[in-house]
Amino acid sequence: MKLYYAAHTCSLATHIVLEEVGADYSVERISFAATQQRSPEFLKINPKGRVPALVTDKGILTETPAMLVYVAQTFPKTNLALMDDPFAFARVQAFNSYLCSHLHVAHAHRMRGTRWVDAADTQAIEAMQRGVPKAVGEAFEMVEREMLKGPWVMGEHFTVCDAYLFTLAQWLEADGVVPARIPKVIDHRKRMSERATVKKAIAQELA
């Protein structure tokens, strides 16, 4: 497999899971500063012009929830998606869907306002940015209160959800979220940061 990524993006979640399962994979960095995500070469990989993208022997996958489950399915003995239990697997999917469709979107309003309004509408963009601490904070509080079972997201068993939550939790201070409001999330982030697989994935992305 080959993972196309950019540093400090949600591609880290899939990168971590590739390490967790011991996959044979390579990585290629896409520079947002150089707008490589819009280059003809990369648009052949992902016409959406975004990362991550995962090249497999069966084709190319995009969208983090799908990629996480694919990697977990490809290495079933790791049981990183709890697929032997239909209800538990549905909970994994529900959690990752919430991060993808709600928490990550709320975060994106800080830097990607032009996805929703014209770049010339600076007042609208600034209004979206002002709302980020509240929107992202409330999303993390929902995770804290209702979803993070402890010690891992799904309880005692480490899953792909943990890699995804850790990745988004890297940005919460920059989004204006007060860490003291979400102690379980912060504790989870600390324990994740101590895993050898996480350290290796981060080091590769920042190299």
- pLDDT tens, position by position, 104-157: 999 998 888 788 889 899 999 899 899 999 999 999 999 999 999 999 999 999
Secondary structure of the chain as H, E, C letters: CEEEECCCCCHHHHHHHHHHHCCCCEEEECCCCCCHHHCHHHHHHCCCCCCCEEEECCEEEECHHHHHHHHHHHCHHHCCCCCCCHHHHHHHHHHHHHHHHHHHHHHHCCCCHHHCCCCCCHHHHHHHHHHHHHHHHHHHHHHHHHHCCCCECCECCCCHHHHHHHHHHCCCCCCCCCHHHCHHHHHHHHHHHCCHHHHHHHHHHHC
Percent of the chain scoring above 90 in pLDDT: 90
Average pLDDT over residues 159-167: 98
Spell out the domains of the chain, with CATH numbers in brackets.
2-78+200-206 (3.40.30.10), 86-195 (1.20.1050.10)
Q: How far is CA 167 from CA 115, 134, 172, 190, in A?
A: 22, 19, 10, 12
Percent of the chain scoring above 70 in pLDDT: 100
Average pLDDT over residues 2-28: 97
Average pLDDT over residues 170-189: 97
pLDDT at position 109 = 87
pLDDT at position 76 = 96
Q: How far is CA 199 from CA 76, 145, 158, in A?
A: 23, 28, 16
pLDDT at position 110 = 85
